[in-house]
């Protein structure tokens, strides 16, 4: 039997596709060898989509089997996604209709119920109460009702109408702030497309109004749920599906401009040496804190940026991103994708109106270092670095940890019932100039977390690099270790053509304890270590208003180091990097200078707020989205009236 991608070549309906497909010999070769494809022969767009078709077909079959089992427990949104996937693959429409009816059977249709119109997140798991289930579930339903309407039976289309109206009622009731970017965009796209599918003018008008509110906020203050390898591709696809399927020809150019804005952001933050997104992220957690989520890799792959096939992701996400890629007439504009190939970049962006809600990324061929000026949430990655190359190295990031385990391996249920890794909140004052980062951390918010046995500030390190030095001495990283360090200690990593120095240069204790510094490796399989300062370790203790909030200071210095001589010079600069501290009128100020660059940061320890950020005496500047000074927000969103 021919592989699905090859059968798909001959059976797909031309009505719903506008692109040629590769010749049969190319697909035969693809079916046997694409799993090990590399950069030498980059696959064509058609080959990438055919690769995606194979994975989507398997996902749909798996979801269908789970949904039709005697005691089904599938993700409800995945069942709806599989229905769309079957239609995209030109499978008999009865398979899709049966799955959508399965979803509709789970919907609350009691008009007197407070949950009218909603669906569960996962069948058979009532303990998970996620209000976002209705948006995720109805997104593929909207696409199949518009894009594949001619395939569906009159009886199904008639039966679907009351379910869609009920879903729109639930979506309307679901209060979602603009800053919750992925669900806000999914909500408005559903209102536009579901309203279009069933002739609900009010839903369509509300969707347009919500988009106008999002557009105004984003033009002024950037994307709130910023640069998440989990959620940025979801946000992109919400806009892309709406742009391609809406029949509102006045709205379509605005939606397409928003899609281009997202592609500018995704391309700007693409790290060619790792073939994925890098830098600070609002949320990254599906694989703990050590690995970037693979969701965004699919978007990069179908756009032609990534040569290697992406790692696996959730079935529903796999179907969504493949469908959105198929819908597009062509890849994203080349003038935006070219950003991803710029060898050295400074990316600046905003993620809100409040002071500090901005992001800086310095990206080179061998090293990326970035910082966010404000805390976003318990799965964010605020201050981070990443080496390029083929090694499977853990991500580097700053983590305030309540478990004495900062790698994201400990998971706790959130308010919806999902188990996720978490770290504690903090107030930062962060300033960065290329590879030099100065960060002052106020841990006052972490004290509100409840009784704890541990409070530690960690910078997570990949130990299987070429060289690990502690104060100039090479460290044996082949077995677990714990080395005492102090505020003057410097850890230096060298990998390939780059080096990074890390120093926790200041800290105070909590709960009457003195801070304790160390460099540690517990022998974990990932090879992740940490330089850490323990502010408190002991019996579970609830903080009180009498407690003085602990704090710490972090310095990073990263540079290209192609030769041993350059590495020796880098070590000297790292040793000479001595911060100068003062506390005056409740303001903790620190200056640090390397070469011609001086950074200054300040925290108000009384009000627990950002006080100062300067580079060479100049106040910190923010931009909605720019790369090397190029204003990408103006190029994309700025052309709209």
Percent above pLDDT 70 for the chain: 93
Taking CA atoms, 293 is separated from 262, 316, 391, in Å, by 18, 15, 17
Q: Is the model's pLDDT at 490 over the cut of 50?
A: yes
What backbone torsions phi and psi does residue 561 show, to the nearest 5 degrees?
Answer: -145, 85
CB 404 within 8 A of CB 454: yes
What is the per-residue pLDDT across 111-120, written as a single tens digit (0 to 9) for each? 999 999 999 9
Q: Is the model's pLDDT at 28 over the cut of 80?
A: no
pLDDT band at 603 (very low <50, low <70, confident <90, very high): very high
Predicted pLDDT at 331: 78
User: Would the pTM of this model clear 0.85, i.e. be above it?
Assistant: yes
DSSP string, 5-66: HHHHHHHS-GGG--S----HHHHHHHHHHGGG--STTPPPHHHHHHHHHHHHHHHHHHHHHH
Q: Is the model's pLDDT at 521 over the cut of 90?
A: yes
Predicted pLDDT at 545: 64
> For residue 219, how far is the Cα from the chain centroid?
20
State the DSSP H helix or E strand holding residue 565, giving kind and residue range, or none if neither. Answer: helix 564-576
pLDDT band at 298 (very low <50, low <70, confident <90, very high): very high
pLDDT band at 40 (very low <50, low <70, confident <90, very high): low
> For residue 379, how far is the Cα from the chain centroid?
10
What is the per-residue pLDDT across 612-623, written as a single tens digit (0 to 9) for each? 999 999 999 999
What is the per-residue pLDDT across 377-414, written as a single tens digit (0 to 9) for each? 999 999 999 999 999 999 999 999 999 999 999 888 88
Burial zone of 417 (CB within 10 Å; 0-12 exposed, 13-18 middle, 19+ buried): middle
For CATH 1.50.10, list the domain ranges present in the chain.
4-30+42-340
Give the whole-angstrom CA distance, residue 376 versus residue 150.
Answer: 44
Q: Name 282's Cβ contacts closer than 8 Å, sequence gap at least 6.
A: 224, 225, 226, 227, 228, 231, 351, 376, 377, 380
Locate all alpha helices (DSSP H) within 174-314, ordered by sequence: 181-198, 201-221, 232-245, 252-268, 295-303
Predicted pLDDT at 329: 72
CB 428 within 8 A of CB 382: yes
- Please give the DSSP secondary-structure letter assigned to residue 407: T
**Average pLDDT of 418-422?**
89
- Helix/strand/coil for 166: helix
**Average pLDDT of 600-617?**
97
Predicted pLDDT at 546: 64
**Average pLDDT of 311-331?**
89
Q: Is the model's pLDDT at 261 over the cut of 50?
A: yes
CATH number of 4-30+42-340: 1.50.10
- Helix/strand/coil for 345: strand
Give the whole-angstrom CA distance, residue 567 versus residue 109.
Answer: 67
- Helix/strand/coil for 513: coil
Average pLDDT, the chain: 92
Taking CA atoms, 527 is separated from 54, 476, 522, in Å, by 34, 12, 9
**Average pLDDT of 185-213?**
98
Residues 28-33: contacts with CB under 8 Å, at least 24 apart: 30/5, 31/3, 31/5, 31/6
**Average pLDDT of 328-357?**
93
CB 321 within 8 A of CB 233: yes
CA torsion sign for 460, 463, 465, 469 is positive
pLDDT band at 540 (very low <50, low <70, confident <90, very high): confident
pLDDT band at 7 (very low <50, low <70, confident <90, very high): very low
Q: Which two tokens stand for residue 283?
A: 């949320």
pLDDT band at 14 (very low <50, low <70, confident <90, very high): very low
pLDDT band at 463 (very low <50, low <70, confident <90, very high): very high
């Amino acid at each position: 039997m021919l592989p699905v991608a090859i059968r798909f070549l001959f059976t797909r309906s031309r009505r719903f596709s506008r692109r040629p497909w590769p010749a049969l010999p190319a697909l035969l070769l693809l079916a046997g060898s694409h799993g090990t494809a590399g950069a030498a022969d980059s696959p064509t767009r058609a080959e990438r989509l055919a690769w995606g078709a194979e994975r989507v077909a398997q996902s749909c079959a798996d979801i269908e089997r789970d949904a039709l089992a005697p005691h089904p427990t599938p993700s409800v949104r995945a069942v709806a996604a599989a229905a769309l996937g079957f239609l995209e693959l030109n499978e008999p429409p009865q398979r899709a209709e049966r799955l959508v009816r399965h979803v509709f059977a789970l919907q609350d249709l009691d008009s007197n119920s407070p949950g009218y119109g909603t669906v569960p997140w996962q069948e058979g798991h009532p303990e998970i109460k996620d209000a976002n289930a209705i948006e995720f579930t109805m997104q593929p339903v909207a696409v199949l009702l518009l894009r594949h309407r001619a395939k569906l039976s009159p009886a199904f289309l008639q039966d679907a109408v009351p379910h869609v109206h009920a879903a729109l009622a639930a979506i309307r009731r679901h209060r979602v702030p603009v800053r919750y970017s992925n669900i806000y965009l999914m909500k408005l796209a559903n209102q536009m497309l579901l309203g279009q599918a069933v002739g609900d003018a009010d839903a369509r008008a509300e969707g347009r109004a919500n988009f106008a509110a999002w557009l105004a906020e984003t033009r002024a203050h950037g994307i709130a749920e910023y640069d998440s390898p989990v959620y940025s591709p979801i946000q992109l696809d919400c806009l892309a599906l709406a742009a391609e399927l809406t029949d509102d020809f006045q709205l379509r150019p605005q939606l397409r401009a928003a899609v281009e804005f997202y592609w500018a952001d995704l391309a700007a933050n693409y790290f060619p040496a790792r073939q994925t997104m890098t830098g600070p992220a609002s949320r990254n957690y599906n694989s703990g804190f050590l690995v970037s989520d693979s969701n965004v890799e699919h978007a990069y792959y179908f756009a032609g940026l990534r040569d290697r096939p992406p790692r696996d992701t959730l079935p529903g996400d796999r179907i969504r991103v493949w469908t959105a890629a198929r819908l597009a007439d062509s890849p994203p504009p080349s003038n935006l994708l070219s950003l991803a190939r710029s060898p050295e970049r400074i990316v600046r962006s905003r993620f809100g109106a409040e002071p500090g809600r901005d992001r800086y990324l310095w990206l080179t061929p061998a090293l990326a270092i970035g910082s966010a000026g404000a805390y976003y949430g318990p799965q964010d990655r605020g201050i981070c670095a990443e080496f390029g190359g083929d090694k499977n190295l853990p991500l580097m990031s700053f983590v305030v940890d309540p478990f004495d385990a900062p790698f994201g391996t400990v998971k706790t249920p959130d308010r919806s019932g999902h188990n996720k890794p978490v770290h504690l909140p903090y107030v930062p004052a962060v300033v960065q100039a290329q590879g030099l980062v100065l960060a002052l951390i106020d841990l006052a918010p972490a004290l509100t977390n409840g009784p704890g046995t541990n409070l530690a500030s960690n910078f997570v390190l990949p130990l299987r690099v070429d060289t690990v030095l502690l104060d100039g001495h090479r460290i044996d990283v082949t077995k677990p270790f714990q080395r005492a360090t102090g505020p003057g200690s410097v850890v230096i990593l060298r990998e390939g053509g780059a080096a990074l120095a890390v120093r926790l240069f200041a800290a105070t204790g909590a709960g009457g304890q003195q801070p304790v510094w160390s460099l540690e490796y517990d022998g974990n399989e990932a090879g992740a270590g940490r330089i850490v300062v323990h502010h408190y370790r002991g019996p579970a203790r609830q903080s009180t208003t009498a407690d003085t909030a602990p704090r710490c200071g972090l310095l990073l210095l990263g540079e290209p180091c192609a030769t041993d001589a350059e590495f020796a010079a880098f070590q000297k600069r790292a040793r000479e990097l001595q911060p100068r501290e003062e506390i005056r009128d409740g303001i903790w100020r620190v200056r640090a200078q390397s070469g011609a660059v001086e950074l200054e940061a300040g925290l108000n320890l009384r009000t627990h707020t950002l006080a100062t950020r300067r580079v060479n005496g100049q106040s910190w500047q923010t931009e909605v989205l720019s790369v090397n000074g190029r204003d990408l927000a103006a190029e994309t969103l700025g052309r709209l009236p």
